[in-house]
C-alpha cells in the first residue's frame, strides 16, 4: 500500500464547479504539500501546511492530522485549473532523518468550458 493515497485519480468537471481532491497518508508527517503539474510538465508548489487551513485565491487546502487526511478545494473552477494535482508529505524526523518528499500519484483534473 502506498504511503500517500489520492482520490480521485481522474476528475472531469464543468467550469464553475466546486472541486475537491483528497489525500490520505499512513505515516507520521511533519508537513504536507500540495503541488500542481501543468500539462507541459512543470511543477509548482501550491501549499505547505502542518495544521489547519490555508487559502490562496480560489484554492483552499485543509489538513486533519488526527485523521491523516488533507483536502484541496478549488472554488469557481476554470479551464486553466486543468492540471495534475499532487499531494506530498514530509516525514521529518519520523522518516529516519531522510529528507525529500513522499508523493502521491496525483489527480488528473480537467475543467471543461
Partner 1 sequence: DADVTQTPRNRITKTGKRIMLECSQTKGHDRMYWYRQDPGLGLQLIYYSFDVKDINKGEISDGYSVSRQAQAKFSLSLESAIPNQTALYFCATSDFRGGTQYFGPGTRLTVL
68 sits near partner 1 (criterion: CB under 8 A) = no
27 sits near partner 1 (criterion: CB under 8 A) = no
99 sits near partner 1 (criterion: CB under 8 A) = yes
C-alpha span between 3 and 95 (Å, rounded) = 12
Contacting residue, 44, 66, 67, 113, with partner 1 by CB under 8 A: 44
96 sits near partner 1 (criterion: CB under 8 A) = no
Q: Are 2 and 105 in contact (CB under 8 A)?
A: yes
11 sits near partner 1 (criterion: CB under 8 A) = no
| Closest distance of CB 76 from partner 1, Å | 25
| Closest distance of CB 14 from partner 1, Å | 26
Take residue 98 and report the three cell numbers written for it: 531522510
How many residues does this entry show for the chain?
Answer: 113
48 sits near partner 1 (criterion: CB under 8 A) = yes
Number of residues near partner 1 (by CB under 8 A): 23
- Quickly count: other Cβ atoms within 10 Å of residue 76's Cβ: 12
In DSSP terms, 103 is beta-bridged to 88
C-alpha span between 77 and 97 (Å, rounded) = 39
54 sits near partner 1 (criterion: CB under 8 A) = no
Amino acid at each position: 500500500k502506498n504511503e500517500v493515497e489520492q482520490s480521485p485519480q481522474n476528475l472531469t468537471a464543468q467550469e464553475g464547479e466546486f472541486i475537491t481532491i483528497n489525500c490520505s497518508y499512513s505515516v507520521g508527517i511533519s508537513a504536507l504539500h500540495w503541488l500542481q503539474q501543468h500539462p507541459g510538465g512543470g511543477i509548482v508548489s501550491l501549499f505547505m501546511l502542518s495544521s489547519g487551513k490555508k487559502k490562496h485565491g480560489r484554492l483552499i487546502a485543509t489538513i486533519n492530522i488526527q485523521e491523516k487526511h488533507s483536502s484541496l478545494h478549488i472554488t469557481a473552477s476554470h479551464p486553466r485549473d486543468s492540471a495534475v494535482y499532487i499531494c506530498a508529505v514530509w516525514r521529518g524526523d519520523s522518516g529516519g532523518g531522510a529528507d525529500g518528499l513522499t508523493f502521491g500519484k496525483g489527480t488528473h483534473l480537467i475543467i471543461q468550458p
